[in-house]
A = this chain, B = another copy of it.
Amino acid sequence: MKWEELSAQQCSVAQASAVLGDRWSLLLLSDFFLGVRRFEDFQQRLGLSRTTLTNRLKLLEKHDVIKRQAYQHQPTRYEYRLTAKGRDLFPVISALVTWGDKYYFKGLSPPIIRTHLSCGHDIQPILTCPECREEVDTRSMSARERPESAGLPPLERGPVSYSSK
């Protein structure tokens, strides 16, 4: 199966990966969440070629994750902003940063400080259950594919507990 066929399938991860499954896109999004908005700033920070940067920004715009917006007229100049769909990627990028901090900055101060404005603490957000508010991890969660899902070929066995892995 070609990637193009897979990404058209009914699979949330395949759909999301079409946007995020690229190293530059992840770095760009991380910079968007740090407030970077302009072509030259992205280029200076990431040091990628203008062509690559243009292509990645176009991809994110095509998927409605960012939008182009004029910030100056005569001559018109543009910057990029996250859309609502783009802002909703915050949990993904946040979880990525937390994981990177844990495994590549063990015992060191993480390079990006995140502050929860409501309570004032510097934090690394955690994943919790919206029903009982407990922190969740692989041991406390199970997952199964919906039987009628028109997604990937089904697993042969039933629901799995992550803890068995």
Contacts and interface: CB of A to CB of B under 8 A. Distances in A.
Given A34-B143, A157-B35, A132 B116 contact: yes
Given A21-B22, A92-B95, A121-B129, 11 more contacts: A7-B23, A13-B27, A20-B96, A32-B165, A36-B155, A44-B153, A45-B153, A94-B127, A95-B127, A112-B144, A126-B130
A109 B135 CA distance: 24
Q: What size tier do the contact residues of chain A reach?
A: 35 or more
A74 interface: no
Number of copies: 2
Contact of A102 (B88, B116, B123): B88
Nearest to A110: B12
Contacts of A102: 88
Contact of A11 (B16, B35, B111, B153): B111
